[in-house]
Amino acid sequence: MLEERSILQLPIDELGLEVLRDFDRTGQWNDYNYVNEARNAGYGKAALDALSEAIGWLRARGLVTPDLSQHSSNAAFVTRFGRKLLDEGPGHLHATAGLQDGVHPLIESEARPQFMLEKYELGVFAAMRAVEIRVRKLGGFGEDDYGADLMNRAFGPGAPLRDVEATKGEQDGMRALFAGAYAVLRNPGGHREVDYDDPGEAAEAVHTASLLMRILDRVEVAQQQNT
């Protein structure tokens, strides 16, 4: 078991993962007994509370779960998802959790289901496709308009989504941002197989799509104010 000082210093996610490793290493099957061992070792209430919080964090993320085959209500075991995390590291967990909070709803609904299936490249593809669809709708473009060319036409000089109140540098930057993001993040997935070895990198790509979608929120508000 961790030292009391470490228990108090670690943030809840890192503490939870340490508890998970303890569960797996010791074959622990009862979370009450786990905390009680710390109590019997003389750990203070703050450390015991932190361990209880960590176990709650693990349960909320499906890494440990009650063992309904046991009579004790405190019986628990490491889930298949928990064992996968122990074998491969927390990258998948952090990537999917990062898409649950703070990501634009139109992006989360497209990308997160793919991330849960570990189809990261499809999640990035779906996120950028959602951006493309909204640009097409807000700009009044047809289905034959797509890709980086669509972004250039939507945000270029005299284009329907260009911010006329911004400086020329900002206007050109916005066009380059949308066209560049599409070319780098969306185009490869449409033409060849893309394999994200790092789930965190894929999650950051989705967050880029989320930023673009929030910019489009402001574009839509401006359109409504000008009508």
Within the chain, all domains assigned CATH 1.20.120 are found at 94-225
3-class secondary-structure state, position 65: strand
- pLDDT tens string, the chain, 227 residues long: the values are 788 998 999 999 899 999 999 888 888 788 888 999 999 999 999 999 999 999 999 998 888 998 888 888 888 888 888 888 888 787 777 666 666 667 899 998 888 888 878 888 899 999 999 999 999 999 999 989 988 999 999 999 999 999 989 999 999 999 999 999 998 887 654 444 556 677 888 888 999 999 999 999 999 999 888 87
Q: Which residues neighbour 41 within 8 Å (Cβ) at sequence distance 6 or greater?
A: 1
Judge: domain 94-225, CATH 1.20.120: yes
CATH 1.10.10 intervals, the chain: 4-88
Q: H or E segment at 78? A: strand 76-78
List the structure tokens of 195.
């394999």
Instruction: Report the CATH number of the 4-88 domain.
Output: 1.10.10
Q: What 3-state DSSP class applies to 126?
A: helix
Rg of the Cα atoms in the chain: 24
Single pTM value for the model: 0.67
Provide the token pair at 18. 């340490």
Residue spans of alpha helices (H) in 72-119:
80-88, 91-98, 105-116
CA angle centred on 70, ends 66 and 75, rounded to 5°: 40
